[in-house]
Amino acid sequence: MYTQALNAKDAADGGAEDADRMARFQARIDAEERIEPNDWMPEAYRRTLVRQISQHAHSEIVGMLPEGNWVTRAPSLRRKAALIAKVQDEGGHGLYLYSAAETLGVAREELVDQLLSGKAKYSSIFNYPTLSWADIGAIGWLVDGAAIMNQIPLCRCSYGPYARAMIKVCKEESFHQRQGFEIMNTLAKGSPAQKAMAQDALNRWWWPSVMMFGPPDSASQHSDTSMRWKIKRFTNDELRQQFIDATVPQAHYMGLEIPDPALKHDAESGHWTIGEIDWTEFKAVIAGNGPCNRQRLRQRREAHESGAWVREAALAHAEKRRRRAAAAVTAAAAE
Ligand code: BYC
């Protein structure tokens, strides 16, 4: 794991967090300097990053399940190839993110265990079912659209490895958003049955997508500290509003209706305002009681168990290479 290269003493020296060090750390953040793995950082900064990055990694990995469910049923070879590539990209994002978390001194195995045991959180959005092909369009358009809105500012996160991982992730997410929009637009402009399918998907995915940005600012436990440390650059409500303002006109362009009778455009502020978000539903989903939480975790556990032989083979191969390289060094020294 990457943590082997860390200067463990400095990174873990939480006891010596005196005011001077904290002030110097905050000054670096305020000056827009990047914090790197071997730099001193407050223990709470490290913990916040491990929490956020690992939840983000888990979301990418669990996010493969609802879409993977449609790979065999995509309506054409072109759609199938694009969907397989997208699902594979999400797996890749999860891997960069676990690597970024490892630079903070935590082992990937420990993070994966937390996911599989149900202790770790992952995005609420992936606990909803994909009932029709239009759901694949809605996920790309809305879920990846929301993910980009949240992740573009993370490219300027104060922690270097996370910010750098986000640059590549965002490029790929923007392809995903466009392929989702294109699926939705094709259905919306298709037969009445296809348009109805697109509208039904929008009806089911709209509110969960709006909730993805997290609790309202008044209830967000971590926003203040994460904003001060420039891990987050915008609050949950600010990003949610940016998403709504960008997405409502796209729905109208496709001739689809946002499922919110209270939706209105405020000419003065230029923003779209929405009705009440059902935070009880959000809380239930993140507490493990959404429509698919149990199924998602069961499928992840099964995938982890059935992949055990691959991990064992990779470790055995790495060990064989290590031994060969060591033997070559010994032989060269003996010559
Ligand atoms: N689902 O104080 P708050 C993707 C938790 S996109 C579940 O505001 P914070 C993908 C939060 O963790 C999705 N839990 O927290 C897209 C905290 O709980 P703990 C992943 C949520 O961290 C397409 C508590 O509520 N993206 O992967 O300041 C295809 C209080 O919240 C949610 C990211 O993870 C939620 N929606 O702000 C495939 C982006 N919202 O930890 C894949 C990075 C909040 O105290 N993460 N909670 O137990 C972030 O930007 C921030 O962590 C959040 C929350 C905005 C999500």
Among 47, 50, 53, 55, say which to mutate for ligand 1: greatest number of ligand atoms within 8 Å of CB. 55
Tens digits of residue pLDDT in 32-53: 999 999 999 999 999 999 999 9
| 223 C-alpha to ligand 1 centroid (Å) | 11
Report the pLDDT value the prediction gives residue 180, as an integer from 0 to 100. 98
Ranges of the chain whose pLDDT falls below 70 = 1-17
The finding on whether 147 has its CB within 6 A of some atom of ligand 1 is: yes
Cα 119 to middle of ligand 1, angstroms = 15
The residue whose CA has the least distance to atom 52 of ligand 1 is 52
- CB of residue 215 inside a 6 A radius of ligand 1: yes
One-letter amino acid for residue 294 of the chain = R
Cβ count within 10 A of residue 159: 28
Torsion angle defined by CA atoms of residues 264, 265, 267 and 273, in that order, rounded to the nearest 10 degrees: 80
The answer to whether residues 108 and 1 touch, using CB atoms and an 8 Å cutoff, is: yes
φ and ψ at 265, to 5 degrees?
A: -95, 125
Cα(317)–Cα(245) distance, integer angstroms = 51
Note the pLDDT of residue 335.
82
Nearest residue (CA) to ligand 1, atom 32: 214
Distance of CA 186 from the midpoint of ligand 1 (Å)? 31
220 CB near ligand 1 (under 6 Å) = yes
The first and second tokens of residue 256, run together, are 């689809």
CA angle 112, 303, 204 (to 5 degrees): 90
The confidence score (pLDDT) of residue 16 equals 53
Long-range CB contacts for residues 189-193, cutoff 8 Å, separation at least 24 = 189/254, 189/255
Q: How far apart are CA 32 and CA 44, in angstroms?
A: 19
Å from CA of 278 to ligand 1 middle = 17
Asked whether the beta carbons of 209 and 150 are under 8 A apart, the reply is no
Q: Quote the percentage of the chain above a pLDDT of 90.
A: 94
Ligand 1 centroid to 192 CA: how many Å?
37
90 lines ligand 1 (CB under 6 A): yes
The two structure tokens encoding residue 151: 């992740």
The answer to whether 51 and 118 are in contact (CB under 8 A) is no
User: What is the rounded distance in angstroms from the CA atom of residue 114 to the CA atom of residue 58?
Assistant: 10
Residue type, 176: H
Q: How far is the CA of 301 from the centre of ligand 1 (A)?
A: 22
Q: Is 61 in the pocket of ligand 1 (CB under 6 A)?
A: no
Q: How many helices (H) and strands (E) does the chain have?
A: 15, 2
b/e per residue 194-215 (b: at least 16 CB within 10 A): ebebbbbbbebbbbbbbbbbbb
Atom of ligand 1 nearest to the CA of 51: 41
Cα 75 to chain centroid distance, Å, stands at 27
pLDDT digits (tens, 9 = 90+) for 213-234: 999 999 999 999 999 999 999 9
pLDDT digits (tens, 9 = 90+) for 43-85: 999 999 999 999 999 999 999 999 999 999 999 999 999 999 9
